[in-house]
Structure 1
Amino acid sequence: MRLTRHLRTLAGDEDGSILPLILGYTLLAVAVLFACVCATDLYIAQKRLDSLADAAALAGADGFTLQVDGGDVHAELTDAGVREQADAVVAAVSQDARLVSAGTPDGVSAQVTVSTVWHPPLVSPFVPGGVQIESTATTRTALR
């Protein structure tokens, strides 16, 4: 009987607090939220850079010159033509992206590389220089 009364007294004792547990889980939830926001922003920035590289490569593939070889006419890309077209697209579309390289490896394909610096949205003070991201796209000219 005495043991039962002692157990009931201990079970009814609420000296502990759940406040530290709530604060700990709240801090963990905020950290996960920050990580998700930064990862999503990086993903979107990379996709935008991929789109810019694709657009610049497509424009570069239009920088061909027509070559007449006997009775045969074919399009030929030059490094200067690809660079000129790609540079115009990058300059028109984005203020912070830069054209790293543009050229033609085989005379019928345009290969363009662009880069930019990504700044994390919530932790920029901890990464003041940002993170450099890069994208490369290759496309072929429609005319052969």
Structure 2
Amino acid sequence: MTGPRGRPRWRDDEGSILPLLLGYALLVVAVLFVCACATDLYIAQKRLDALADAAALAGADGFVLVADGDGARAALTEAGVRAQATALLEALPGDALLVEATTADGVTARVTVGGEWHPPLVSMFVPDGVPLRATATSRTALR
């Protein structure tokens, strides 16, 4: 059987590649969206890490001076660390919460902040409301 212009016509060569192209286009869009959400999640975690670092640094300033036999030294208190970290978090924009602010040895401030990440666009491929936490430590400079 020949078609127009004398070329052979094959019956199994009929159809359209449009459904295949649409399927691949949807797959590409889904992969791009998931990659964009993963990048946004990574950036949100890095911002929370930086905020935890700043809060720990501020918490290391929550010391009291203690007079010893030879002179004075700085000693961190849990109340001082918490007060300084809370003041910093309240001064900065965002919805990060202070989870924990402690000092184990009176020299090192350990601060944990938490937040929640929401994807830029709602999708069935990416969960909504991923909890994030970041912990940082800082030592007081005065000993």
TM-score range, shorter chain: 0.7 to 0.9
Letter in structure 1 aligned against 2:65: L
Aligned to 1:5: none
Aligned to 2:23: 24
Deviation at 1:127, TM superposition (A): 4.5
Query: In structure 1, what is the Cα distance between the partners aligned to 2:44 and 2:123?
Result: 15
SS, match of residue 84 in structure 1: helix
Deviation at 1:64, TM superposition (A): 0.8
More helix by share: 1
Deviation at 1:16, TM superposition (A): 2.2
The aligned length equals 137
Are 2:111 and 1:104 aligned? Answer: no
SS, match of residue 14 in structure 2: coil
SS, match of residue 134 in structure 1: strand
Deviation per residue, 1:37-67 (Å, 9 max, x gap): 1001100100110111000000000111111
Query: In structure 2, what is the Cα distance between the partners aligned to 1:124 and 1:60?
Result: 39
Q: Following superposition of structure 1 onto structure 2, how do residues 116-135 of structure 1 map, counting pairs within 5 Å?
A: 116-123=115-122, 127=127, 130-135=129-134
Q: Following superposition of structure 1 onto structure 2, how do residues 1-144 of structure 1 map, counting pairs within 5 Å?
A: 9-10=8-9, 14-123=13-122, 127=127, 130-144=129-143
Deviation at 1:143, TM superposition (A): 1.1
Query: In structure 2, what is the Cα distance between the partners aligned to 1:94 and 1:50?
Result: 15
Query: In structure 1, what is the Cα distance between the partners aligned to 2:17 and 2:85?
Result: 60
Runs of 4+ off more than 6 Å: none
